[in-house]
Amino acid sequence: MSKEATPSVETAATGAPGPGSIASFIDHTLLKPEAGEADILKVCAEAAEYHFKSVCVNPVWVKTVKKALKGSGVLTCSVVGFPLGATPTDVKAFEARGAVLDGADEVDMVINIAAARAGDKGALVEDITSVAEAVHASGAILKVIIETALLDDPQKVLACEAAVEAGADFVKTSTGFNGGGATAEDIALMRRTVGPGLGVKASGGVRSLEDAQAMIAAGATRIGASSGIAIVKGEQGSSSY
């Protein structure tokens, strides 16, 4: 497991971080398929200005983001099997290797959601393990998106257990593309399941400082949001992600 996901780094904060410290929890996110280079560079400039944890983009933009963020201290994050998770495991692993080679420090993968709904833990472990091996080979971090809006509580627990068994560094609530989003109840359930050793990322519908604080209080150690600037300013964001 990467040191980036250990409690000493990711869960050191206690209480409710305010605008001055909340930025370090945020993956500043732009995953719209229509986003162009100017949009991506704008997000990178914002992340460098506000000192967000990372910029999260689709794989085609990883090289652009890595170059734009050089020297900023902001990480480059990308996604795999996104947003449906219905990609064959070997393709997800190939995609992950490519993202890391292009410069991704972190990779957020979507699980095989059908396997989770069917209670097939073995398929989930196999899916996540293959991507984890590809990501960890280059020292990057793997976050596992379980898409909570499509699962009941036992299925969420199963998916989180599979992520732990497969060696993931984080579990994450949502893509933001399949309805629903992060809830404090889901974050608390995920934290109880994975224990203190893994990160928990809340994503989908986190649009305000109060939203982010509630997620962190429930056990989140990272926030995925396209409303990062509104969050750090104490305003209300309008994005669906």
133 CB neighbour count, 10 Å cutoff: 15
Determine the distance from the C-alpha atom of residue 235 to the mean position of all C-alpha atoms in its chain, rounded to a whole number: 22
Spatial distance between the Cα atoms of 211 and 221, rounded to a whole number of angstroms: 13
| Owner of token pair 């979507």 | 110
Measured CA distances, 166 to 111, 158, 159, 215, 232 (Å): 12, 12, 10, 25, 34
| Among 92, 169, 201, 211, the one annotated catalytic | 201
Rounded CA Rg of the chain: 16
| Owner of token pair 């170059």 | 67
Whether 186 is catalytic is: no
Whether 201 is catalytic is: yes
| Among 66, 92, 143, 172, the one annotated catalytic | 172
Task: Give the up-direction half-sphere exposure of residue 20: CA atoms within 13 A in the CB hemisphere.
Answer: 0
Whether 108 is catalytic is: yes
- 3-state SS of 62-104 is HHHHHHHHCCCCCEEEEEECCCCCCCCHHHHHHHHHHHHHHCC
**Terminal-residue alpha carbon distance, the chain:** 28
| Among 27, 105, 108, 127, the one annotated catalytic | 108
* Cβ atoms 227, 208 nearer than 8 A: yes
Residues known to be catalytic: 108, 172, 201
